[in-house]
Amino acid sequence: MDILKDLHAAGKKILTDTKSPKNTLNVAKPVKVKPTSEPILDIHQAFVKRVIKDKPHKKDLVEFFERVIEAEEKKL
């Protein structure tokens, strides 16, 4: 009989635990990124930020690389 009483008490505890309010103090809040006021001069940094933000198509990426290659070849 003790086993039945223990099971009954455990069942009550499970039901009452599920009805308890959710603790929202420990929930992580989304982090907002503040834009920097300094301009990006490095083409690599600009490319990485653009890809992360815009997620361009592969065709656009190929065109971008072709333009960068042509510009760098002109510098030589």
> Could you list the pLDDT tens digit for every one of the 76 residues in the chain?
677 788 777 777 766 666 666 666 666 677 676 666 666 678 888 888 888 888 899 999 999 899 989 988 998 8
Do the beta carbons of residue 64 and residue 47 sit within 8 Å? yes
Q: Whole-model pTM?
A: 0.44
So where are the chain's domains? Answer: 40-76
| pLDDT computed for residue 37 by the predictor | 63
Query: CB within 8 A of 64, min separation 6: which ones?
Result: 47, 56
Q: How far apart are CA 47 and CA 67, in angstroms?
A: 12
User: What one-character DSSP code corresponds to residue 12?
Assistant: H
The structure tokens listed for 3 are 């086993």
